[in-house]
Chains A and B, each alone.
Chain A
Amino acid sequence: MKMHMVAALNNALELEMKKNEKIVIIGEDVGVDGGVFRVTEGLIDKFTDKRVIDTPLSEAGIIGSAVGLAVNGIRPVCEMQFIGFAYQGFAQVKQHLTRMRQRSYGRFTCPVVIRGPAGGGIRALEHHCECPETFFGHTHGIKVVFPSGPYDAKGLLTSALRSEDPVMFLEPEKLYRSFKEEVPEDEYSIPLGEANVKKEGKDLTLITYGPTVKLSMEAAEKSDIDVEVIDLRTVWPLDMDTILKSIEKTGRALVVHEAPKSMGMGAEISARIQEKAIYNLEGPIVRVGAPDVPYPQFAFENYYLVDVNRIQKGIEKAMR
């Protein structure tokens, strides 16, 4: 069935909640309203307000109480209304959610999914368009997932809901309803920590994830260069095996992400490539990302965001 990402995510939640009664959705306006993007629409009717629970307006409260809920046997799915507000709960992620397993030496664990809209491109108010994957990736004890389309979103969210580790699940908000894909109505899962070779090619390895996958595919299709496009799917842990295998073949690498370029995933991926495969490289590794400024107010959004043109320039640069 053709589905938008919103429907695919809703479907994954419904199927897993049917299977596992420990799963409880908590968040702001997730009940009757179905979330501001409608990802949880209708779930309150199917599972009652005991499992789809509107909370006070407090991100630290949602994430912090989820730690306690999880310790006491619930599997909370925390909706952040926008990921830019997850910073209010970041201390709880950094200090407790990701460390409870370590601190208690495995006695207490936090199978918690934090999910919500990330990335920009929807002309929203300030703080509604963040790409914080490196903050969370640098917060060891959690997995960070950033799907690129409806099919992946459902399969990856299913895995996240089954994971015994906490998962930060970033949903590209621009892609919520921008295109549909064929999505099976039955359950399926896509493993966390495994990248997807989205398009095979022999000249250049383009590594990307989340909101820039679709743009990278367009740039690759338009290019004369035979580009291999890798969609990481999971930002952390990083699937270096798939990346290195591709670079052995192509000898060139380009990393594309929506987040600012400096200290972004591109830096980590480039460092790892040169550690493991410098003698396979025929040219410098190139990064395409946002400029090193805070995500601007939306009058500037188009200047800030990575687009197909900028990725094409990146491809040319990587081929020099």
Chain B
Amino acid sequence: MPRKVIQQFQVEYIQILDEEGNVDDSMMPEMNDDMLKEMYKKMCMVRKFDQKYFKLQRAGKIGTYAEVHGQEAAQVGSVMAAEKDDWTVPTFRETGVLLARGVPGSTLLQGWKGDHKAFRGEDDNRDLPVAVPVGSQALHGAGIGWAERLKEGDRVALTYFGDGATSQGEVNEAFNFAGVFKANTIFICQNNHWAISTPNNRQTAAETMAQKAIAFGFPGIKVDGNDILAMYAVTKDAVERARKGEGPTLIEAATYRIGDHTTSDDSSKYRKPEEVEEWKKKCPIKRLRLYMEKKGIWNEEQENSMQEELDKHIAEEAEKGVAIPQPPVEELFENIYAEPPKDYVEQKNELAEAFKGDQQ
């Protein structure tokens, strides 16, 4: 009887920029100094908007907010590896993705005020509205990438989810469909190590999330998710593979959620402060700044001027977002159907009557 090894696999881990700001030149992706500065500025903008939204939640100006603090490199780096007419499929923690895609901070704020008009965007918008049911959106990324194949297009779908989502059937079904149909889909699993209070070892017995791709017949790779250069380089490779019709990639970005799950959570209940402190040392923003300073393309003066500019921008956007008025009752019935049921008229009139005079 034959008995032999018929399948073996390896999972690579990539880091280009370490915590002290040193770069492995042999792996450095092609980019000029302006692009490094742009990456840096975008991450700083995300960090500052994140802090602003948090404060606005505490001040009662917006609803529940999910902080992105700590995951800036994974989000900004991946977005910058794709083009504007590629697609993104975000979850509720992708504030960094959406800001990096160019969605105004005031618009995101409108979304956190519970007004879905925020997710409409321009007519050529290719950022899906943020998905809340964990993992459910992965199938949409698979479908968008599959549609590209059917249309013989070469756009890709950056599809975001977290470590907890890998336990969902829908994520595994998305891997399977994307694999079978060689979809133009880049699965980006930000492994921030905690799904609310549940750690990685309770989500899976697998050593890595990346290796899950192997079972579905496409490459999986693990990246230091706090290293924006690695995140950019790996995503760029995956995007190019997809554009050439070589199918999907799963990128596991090892990162950490410095904040709570949301503003309704208290993470001190389930994780040690020392662990959080350890990860703060791996800050994605700090290490890029160190690298740029070593390279001689960034100094204190530039830093101060950028921070000032960002503060001004964020204050303006926040003010604009907070000022967006409460939507009128009639909008409740908008965009449910292309052809609405006849009794929407009656229902709308009844509610409008009930809320008459209540509105701003």
Contacts and interface: CB of A to CB of B under 8 A. Distances in A.
Interface stretch (A58-66, A216-224, A280-288): A58-66
Interface in A67-116: 67-74, 91-92, 95-96, 100-109
A91 B140 CA distance: 13
Contact of A67 (B125, B139, B176, B336): B139
Contacts of B151: 72-74
B335 interface: yes
B117 interface: yes
Contacts of B357: none
Contacts of B139: 60-61, 64-65, 67-68, 92
Contact of A164 (B129, B334, B338): B338
A249 B272 CA distance: 74
A65 B143 contact: yes
B147 interface: yes
Contacts of B31: none
B257 to A, nearest CB: 24
A103 B136 CA distance: 15
A105 B170 CA distance: 25
Given A101-B335, A141-B336, A65 B129 contact: no
A56 to B, nearest CB: 5
Contact of B120 (A56, A95, A105, A192): A105
B334 A71 contact: no
A241 interface: yes
Given A107-B120, A107-B125, A95 B136 contact: yes
Interface string A23-52: 010000000000000000000000000100
Interface stretch (B6-14, B242-250, B315-323, B339-347): B339-347
A191 to B, nearest CB: 10
A240 B343 contact: yes
Contact of B343 (A107, A108, A237): A237
A121 interface: no
Contacts of A165: 337-339
Contact of B177 (A65, A106, A240): A65
A106 B148 contact: no
Given A61-B174, A61-B177, A95-B133, A105 B143 contact: no
Nearest to A192: B339
Interface string A144-170: 000000000000000000011100000
A141 B333 CA distance: 10
A96 B129 CA distance: 10
Nearest to B332: A102
Contacts of B117: 105
Contacts of B157: 68
B121 interface: yes
A177 interface: no
Given A68-B140, A73-B147, A105-B120, A163 B338 contact: yes
A237 B335 CA distance: 16
Contacts of A91: 133, 136, 170
Contact of A72 (B116, B131, B143): B143
A64 B139 CA distance: 5
Given A24-B150, A69-B144, A95-B133, A58 B176 contact: yes
A193 interface: yes
Contacts of B120: 104-107
Interface in A186-217: 192-193
A241 B148 CA distance: 44
Contacts of B121: 104, 107
Nearest to A68: B143
B169 A60 contact: yes
Nearest to B169: A60
Contacts of A143: 337
Contacts of B146: 65, 68-69
B232 interface: no
A55 interface: yes
Contacts of A71: 128, 140, 143-144, 147
A237 to B, nearest CB: 3
Contact of B119 (A96, A105, A140, A240): A105
B215 interface: no
Contacts of A104: 116, 119-121, 128-129, 335
13 contacts: A60-B139, A64-B170, A68-B140, A68-B157, A72-B148, A73-B151, A101-B338, A103-B116, A104-B121, A106-B334, A107-B120, A108-B128, A109-B338
Interface of B: 87, 89, 116-117, 119-121, 123, 125, 128-129, 131, 133, 136-137, 139-148, 150-151, 157, 169-170, 173-174, 176-177, 180, 334-339, 341-343
Given A92-B170, A102-B116, 8 more contacts: A24-B150, A58-B173, A60-B173, A104-B120, A104-B121, A163-B338, A163-B339, A192-B339
> 7 closest A-B pairs (Cβ-Cβ)?
A68-B143, A64-B139, A237-B341, A72-B147, A164-B338, A65-B143, A61-B173
